[in-house]
Chains A and B, each alone.
Chain A
Amino acid sequence: METANHLIRPEFLSLGADQIHALMPYFVAFAGCLVTLLLSVIRSVNPKWPVLLGTVATCVAASVLSIEQIREPSLSLFNGMMVSDSFSAFFNTVFLATAGMTALASFRYLDRERLQHTEYYVLLLFSALGMMLMTSALDLIVVFIALEIMSLAVYVLVGFRRADRRSNEAAMKYFILGSAASAVFLYGSALLYGATGSLNLREILAVLQSHPEGMSPIFTLGSWLVLLGFLFKVASVPFHMWMPDVYEGAPVPVTGFMTTGLKAAAFATLVRLFLALGFGKAVASTLQQHVHDILWVVAVLTMLVGNVVALTQTNLKRMLAYSSIAHTGYLLVGLLAGGGSDQGFSAVVMYLTVYAIMNLGAFVVLSVLAEQGDTGLNLHDLSGLARRRPWIAFALAVFLFSMAGIPPTAGFAAKYLVFYSAIQAGEIWLVVLGVLCSAISVYYYLRVMVYMYMKEPVGSAAPSRVSFWAASVVAAMVVLTLQVGILPARLVHAAKKAVTSL
């Protein structure tokens, strides 16, 4: 066969030095997966130490590499299927930091629950790798595969307490509903492919721009389905049924990882899809109106249902699950406003980062407070916590204040930015509703504080020791929450830089 007849384009057969440099965080993360996997079969010592160290070292190394790349120009990789830019570098750092912190904070928890250490850490790394790939993908196939890498690992993590029925139930529910959502996303992508002849976001955008009069119904249907798949993953309201059960059944550190990493990954990918497909610019205006209307309704419902149902919860884990739904609503407000304001989508990026910080902190605190089998997380169990364990109570108070959006915490700065950008985009009603919901939320956050600080202690069981690592994670998160709350400019700047690189 003559060489002229090859379909292989030689430029895709090798990686240049700059491309290898851009891919380093991914290589390091994947190498970390493999090395920890190998370490976990060590027989001479208990493998949990080497695997934990390997996981944390991987996360640190890869996030250092990612932080360096925030300043670098964007680079298209693998036939334009993936891109390395400030946005992906920024979120890679967030994901890796979340995974590393979760691993550190889980150590004592896994010991107490007598769970397998090694696979837990390996799956955390795989999930972080999936998130990294998902936010840097520019092709719907790659988005789908990365989504599955992330989800598969998390399905297993949710069911990690195998002896516990609720954990099993949560994993099963999440697996079945999550697979259905993936199928919806996949079908939507197939329809988009039928309508445009490409799965690459840039090529889809080119087709969109060449049809200013509007796209075919197939394209509209496809984009609805893709959007629905993501709305399911972030648990916005008509698709939130799975979430409280899953969050309650999953081991506490995994719940923290899901509310921070998973949600950040899904929203970051949505932001990339929106920007790559020109949302907010004059492209296919009818479709944009559709997407806008759908998101408007979903955002309002999500804020309302999340906050109102959270009012009635007495279990802290379940309350935080509903509050996480409410925060999804605020994020959707930012997503809606992104196209029409000066901030663009940087408000969403900022909010995601801040939410990751405070929520991760709150869940680490919960995993410290929880007793065997994830019990002891009801409100009355927290009575008088401030007297029994003042530092833990203080940390939880800071995180809850931040979630309620009270200055001088990071949550206030983030919420302010989201609502400010929504006002700029002319979504006045959305902001009014959002602020009202936010006011409702203060009630259930403050109620926890009342229990901790103003009630007599019950049952004075000697508190279990807090591991050094969990304590340092909590301390770091408290410092970050306050620091971002008082001096938000640096983070806002980084978020803006990340978004403008798209």
Chain B
Amino acid sequence: MDLNPIFFTAFASLAIAFALLVVLKKNPVASAFSLVLVFFCFAAMYAMLDAHLLAALQVLVYAGAIMVLFIFVIMLLAADVPSFDLGRSHVGLRIGSGAVSLVLLGLFVWAFRHTESFGAKGTLTAAKIESVGGNTQAISQLMFSDYLLPFELTSVLLLAGIVGAVAIAKRQNPRKEGSGS
């Protein structure tokens, strides 16, 4: 159950490195592939925490479905604009944003170092999950009882998202929507 510090450090630093690449790379396809690798690192950490179902879902859903879609869209739509290069930003702006980021980083490091008491641990011990029948059973049982509301609301959110996407992407037909007909 406990994280192996060597593997944790390895995957965490890989995740940070690839996350930086996502932001710094000017080519959107390279950014997207770096993001895939970030997701893989996360999946590895979930697996180390014995959350095998989450790890598998992370790979299947994020790294698999969503990112492939991302990359397809980038390649199909922006084939002739292969770059996020917005030109050189102002020097003052760069220094300013760099300084703010460093201050924030320092704040977080300080906060985590000075926190002694974290929240109470959950009640789902490894033995209890085993007795229910494994991760998959435990997650699905909780999702349909204790966490029913957020689970159902997520589908409302997706529906709203679909309607919105259709509204934006639909072909405009002024003759039909105009005041006349």
Q: Which of B107, B150, B156, B170 contacts A129 (CB 8 A)?
A: B156
Q: Is the CB of A6 within 8 A of B179?
A: no
Known: A149-B156, A156-B168. A196 touches B119 (CB 8 A): yes
Q: Is the CB of B164 within 8 A of A148?
A: no
Q: Is the CB of B111 within 8 A of A221?
A: yes
User: Chain B at the A interface: mostly helix, strand, loop or mixed?
Assistant: helix
User: Chain A at the B interface: mostly helix, strand, loop or mixed?
Assistant: helix
- Interface pairs (9), CB distance under 8 Å: A7-B145, A78-B148, A111-B179, A114-B174, A119-B164, A119-B170, A145-B150, A149-B156, A218-B111
Nearest residue in A to B111 (C-beta to C-beta)? A217
- Does residue A400 face the partner (Cβ distance < 8 Å to B)? no
Interface size class of A (residues with CB under 8 A): 35 or more
- Does residue B98 face the partner (Cβ distance < 8 Å to A)? no
**Contact segment of A8-16, A344-352, A427-435:** A8-16
Most buried by A among B118, B144, B160: B160
- Does residue A87 face the partner (Cβ distance < 8 Å to B)? no
- Does residue B108 face the partner (Cβ distance < 8 Å to A)? yes
- Does residue B2 face the partner (Cβ distance < 8 Å to A)? no
Q: Is the CB of B177 within 8 A of A117?
A: yes
When distances are taken between beta carbons in the complex, the residues of chain B under 8 Å from A116 are 167, 170, 172, 177
Q: Is the CB of A114 within 8 A of B150?
A: no
A156 to B118, CA, bound (A): 40
- Shortest Cβ gap from B62 to chain A (Å): 16
The 0/1 profile, CB within 8 Å of B marked 1, for residues 62-100 of chain A is 000000000000000111011000000000000000000
- Does residue B97 face the partner (Cβ distance < 8 Å to A)? no
Q: Is the CB of B178 within 8 A of A195?
A: no
The 0/1 profile, CB within 8 Å of A marked 1, for residues 149-180 of chain B is 11001101101110111111010101011110
CB contacts under 8 Å to A, within B105-149, are 107-108, 110-112, 114-122, 124, 131-133, 137-138, 141-142, 144-149
- Shortest Cβ gap from A139 to chain B (Å): 8
Known: A126-B163, A145-B157, A159-B168. A82 touches B149 (CB 8 A): yes
A195 to B114, CA, bound (A): 12
- Shortest Cβ gap from A248 to chain B (Å): 20
Known: A7-B138, A114-B177, A114-B178. A218 touches B115 (CB 8 A): yes
When distances are taken between beta carbons in the complex, the residues of chain B under 8 Å from A122 are 163
Q: Is the CB of A123 within 8 A of B119?
A: no
- Does residue A130 face the partner (Cβ distance < 8 Å to B)? yes
- Does residue A398 face the partner (Cβ distance < 8 Å to B)? no
- Does residue A390 face the partner (Cβ distance < 8 Å to B)? no
When distances are taken between beta carbons in the complex, the residues of chain B under 8 Å from A198 are 119
Q: Is the CB of A8 within 8 A of B181?
A: no
Q: Is the CB of B161 within 8 A of A6?
A: no
When distances are taken between beta carbons in the complex, the residues of chain B under 8 Å from A207 are 119
- Shortest Cβ gap from B130 to chain A (Å): 10
Q: Is the CB of B163 within 8 A of A7?
A: no
Q: Is the CB of A9 within 8 A of B146?
A: yes
- Shortest Cβ gap from A195 to chain B (Å): 6
When distances are taken between beta carbons in the complex, the residues of chain A under 8 Å from B116 are 216
- Shortest Cβ gap from B106 to chain A (Å): 12
The 0/1 profile, CB within 8 Å of A marked 1, for residues 62-87 of chain B is 00000000000000000000000000
Q: Is the CB of A193 within 8 A of B119?
A: yes
- Shortest Cβ gap from B116 to chain A (Å): 7
Q: Which of B107, B122, B145, B176 contacts A9 (CB 8 A)?
A: B145
Nearest residue in A to B118 (C-beta to C-beta)? A194
A117 to B154, CA, bound (A): 26
When distances are taken between beta carbons in the complex, the residues of chain A under 8 Å from B138 are 7
Q: Which of B107, B145, B165, B177 contacts A13 (CB 8 A)?
A: B145
Nearest residue in A to B178 (C-beta to C-beta)? A114
Q: Is the CB of A197 within 8 A of B120?
A: yes
Q: Is the CB of B149 within 8 A of A217?
A: no
Q: Which of B115, B172, B176 contacts A163 (CB 8 A)?
A: B172
6 additional A-B pairs beyond A119-B170, A216-B115, beta carbons within 8 Å, are A48-B177, A110-B177, A123-B160, A141-B147, A142-B150, A216-B116
Most buried by A among B107, B115, B119, B174: B119
When distances are taken between beta carbons in the complex, the residues of chain A under 8 Å from B147 are 79, 81, 141
CB contacts under 8 Å to B, within A190-215, are 193-198, 207, 211
Nearest residue in A to B146 (C-beta to C-beta)? A79
Known: A142-B149, A149-B156. A162 touches B168 (CB 8 A): yes
The 0/1 profile, CB within 8 Å of A marked 1, for residues 46-60 of chain B is 000000000000000
A33 to B96, CA, bound (A): 45
- Does residue A133 face the partner (Cβ distance < 8 Å to B)? yes
